[in-house]
Amino acid sequence: MEQIKRIEEIANSVLEAQNLILYETCWRKEGSMKILQIAIMRHDGTMDIDTCSQISEAISAKLDEEDFIPYEYFLEVCSPGAERELRTWEEVVDAVGEYVYVKLKNPTAGMDGVKGTLIHAQDGSLQMEYMVKAVKKKMDIAYDNVANIRLSVKI
């Protein structure tokens, strides 16, 4: 079994008991230090540092029990962030009502990207509401024209 899959199984056993979701698991390197980064969130997309700390201790204990990672590493349990990527159609649908940034494969209405509120996601199509100066506008976007979509912080 692939190492990341085994780590994810262990993490999921801890997360499911706390009604949390595993967003991503990856190895990062900083200098000579290997970092096992596990990004988690609640079903509403939020996360806090106290929960990350509690989950980190629980996952660390389980990984120590299994002892299958043959080298030293640092475990980092974190939030996927306020501007996390929406990786699947289901995540996009769940983000309806949220402020997002959409990068387009082919420019539409003279724009290669748009920031605004995702007001609709259905049948492979998105509808965005965004502002140009003081005017509220809407744009329909085919999902297959989306290069990348992520949550965005509204300033």
Q: Tell me the CATH number at 138.
A: 2.30.30.180
* Same-domain pairing of 67 and 128: no
Res 1: pLDDT: 54
What residues contact residue 25 under an 8 Å CB cut-off, 6+ apart? 4, 7, 8, 11, 36, 37, 38, 39
- Residues 74, 108: one domain? no
**One domain for residues 62 and 96:** no
CB neighbours of residue 77 within 10 Å: 24
Q: Are residues 106 and 72 in the same domain?
A: no
**Domain span at 22:** 3-78
pLDDT class of 155 with cuts at 50, 70, 90:
confident
Helix (H, G, I), strand (E, B) or coil at 94: helix
Q: Do 50 and 105 fall into the same domain?
A: no
In a domain, 46, yes or no: yes
Give the mean model confidence (pLDDT) for residues 14-39: 95
Contacts of 26 (CB under 8 A, 6+ apart): 4, 37
Percent of the residues in the chain that have a pLDDT greater than 90, as a whole number: 91
Comparing C-alpha atoms, which of 18, 41, 141, 154 is closest to residue 91?
41
Residues 64 and 20 in one domain: yes
Contact indicator for 3, 21 with CB cutoff of 8 Å: no
**Whether residue 8 is found in the same domain as residue 74:** yes
pLDDT over 60 (residue 40): yes
Which residue is it, tokens 């199984």? Answer: 9
Report how many domains make up the chain.
2
- Are residues 136 and 101 both part of a single domain? yes
Residues β-bridged to residue 141: 126
Tens of pLDDT along 44-98?
Answer: 889 999 999 999 999 999 999 999 999 999 999 999 999 999 999 999 999 999 9
